[in-house]
């Protein structure tokens, strides 16, 4: 008799557990709905703009990040409630002191490598992350095709100008710099329908005294440097500092780099 009621108890517990699972399922849906509702807006002292190049295997190049490490970094952002911003959000913060979603971060990918399409783009879609790719229209076809870039743009990534050719701006006159930037602008408009692209990134981070003016003259509103640091309200929008990410940036250092602008050198 006692055994029988124990069985009954087990059955009741099992039913309760199953029902619990069902409830848990619906509360998960609820929290997903909540996640898409407006997030808390903040006004941070600074924002880390992460600088990526190639994702994949290349141990000899310290600007390359292994795919597994890159995936772990993006998962870290997702799991810890970080909000990748668009270039527009970053610009509005730097220029006008606009507030941004809490735990802001900016994801930038220079040069337009094949892996930006094959590895980065699917992850950005999966996590619904904003990201910006700086391409050299003059190199199109060597790593990426216009078709792939078009697809990334339609999928929500921001495509911007890294110069028609990947050349050191600091070696050029103001006129030559304007030519290189404008040729890139024209290609973005012709191939992707981007009229008056406002975002630029200096190849090699190289500049001279004419570069900011040349960028402005070419219709650029904000440009990324390669100098290390975070972006702040009131910074020169033509010299946005960035946070370097390479294979030496393991998850511990990654967390440090997005939590404090006084991160350790590697
Ligand atoms: Zn570059």
pLDDT in tens, 119-148: 999 999 999 999 999 999 999 999 999 999
- Cα 152 to ligand 1 centroid, rounded to whole Å: 19
What's the rounded mean pLDDT across residues 240-254?
96
Helix ranges (DSSP H) in the chain: 2-36, 67-79, 87-96, 114-115, 121-127, 146-154, 174-192, 211-217, 251-259
| DSSP for residue 147 | H
If one counts every other C-beta atom within 10 angstroms of the C-beta of residue 2, the result is 5
Window from 13-17, 33-37, 151-155, 182-186 with minimum mean pLDDT = 13-17
What's the rounded mean pLDDT across residues 100-105?
98
- Cα 72 to ligand 1 centroid, rounded to whole Å: 24
- Cα 260 to ligand 1 centroid, rounded to whole Å: 25
- Cα 39 to ligand 1 centroid, rounded to whole Å: 33
Window from 29-43, 44-58, 218-232 with minimum mean pLDDT = 29-43
What's the rounded mean pLDDT across residues 169-184?
97
- Cα 121 to ligand 1 centroid, rounded to whole Å: 18
Token pair belonging to 62: 């310290």
pLDDT in tens, 15-26: 444 444 433 433
Strand partners, 134: 110, 160
What DSSP letter does each residue of 100-122 carry, written as one string?
A: EESSEEEEEEEE--HHIIIIIHH
- Provide the sign of the torsion angle of the four alpha carbons 236, 92, 168, 163, taken in this order: negative
- Cα 93 to ligand 1 centroid, rounded to whole Å: 24
Domains of the chain: 42-165+228-259 (3.20.20.370)
- Who wins on pLDDT, 58 or 191? 191
Give me the pLDDT at residue 266, please.
87
- Cα 63 to ligand 1 centroid, rounded to whole Å: 10
Question: What is the share, in percent, of the chain residues with pLDDT greater than 70?
Answer: 86
- Cα 142 to ligand 1 centroid, rounded to whole Å: 14
């Amino acid at each position: 008799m006692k055994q029988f009621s124990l069985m009954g108890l087990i059955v009741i517990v099992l039913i309760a557990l199953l029902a619990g699972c069902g409830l848990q399922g619906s509360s998960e849906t609820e929290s997903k709905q909540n996640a898409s509702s407006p997030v808390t807006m903040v006004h941070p002292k600074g924002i880390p703009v992460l600088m990526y190049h190639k994702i994949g295997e290349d141990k000899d190049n310290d600007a390359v990040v292994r795919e597994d490490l890159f995936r772990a970094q993006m998962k870290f952002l997702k799991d810890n409630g970080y909000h990748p911003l668009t270039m527009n959000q970053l610009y509005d913060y730097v220029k006008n002191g606009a507030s941004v979603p809490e735990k802001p971060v900016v994801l930038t990918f220079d040069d337009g490598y094949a892996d930006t399409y094959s590895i980065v783009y699917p992850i950005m879609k999966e996590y619904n992350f904003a990201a910006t790719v700086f391409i050299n229209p003059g190199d199109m076809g060597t790593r990426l095709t216009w078709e792939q870039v078009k697809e990334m743009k339609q999928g929500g990534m921001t495509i911007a100008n890294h110069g028609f050719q990947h050349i050191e701006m600091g070696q050029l006159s103001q006129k030559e710099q304007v030519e290189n930037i404008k040729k890139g602008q024209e290609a973005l408009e012709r191939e992707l329908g981007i009229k008056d692209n406002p975002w630029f990134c200096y190849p090699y981070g190289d500049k001279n005294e004419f570069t900011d003016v040349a960028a402005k003259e070419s219709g650029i509103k904000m440009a990324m440097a390669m100098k290390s640091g975070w972006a702040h309200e009131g910074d020169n929008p033509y010299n946005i500092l960035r946070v370097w990410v390479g294979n030496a940036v393991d998850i511990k250092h990654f967390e440090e780099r997005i939590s404090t602008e006084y991160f350790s050198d590697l």
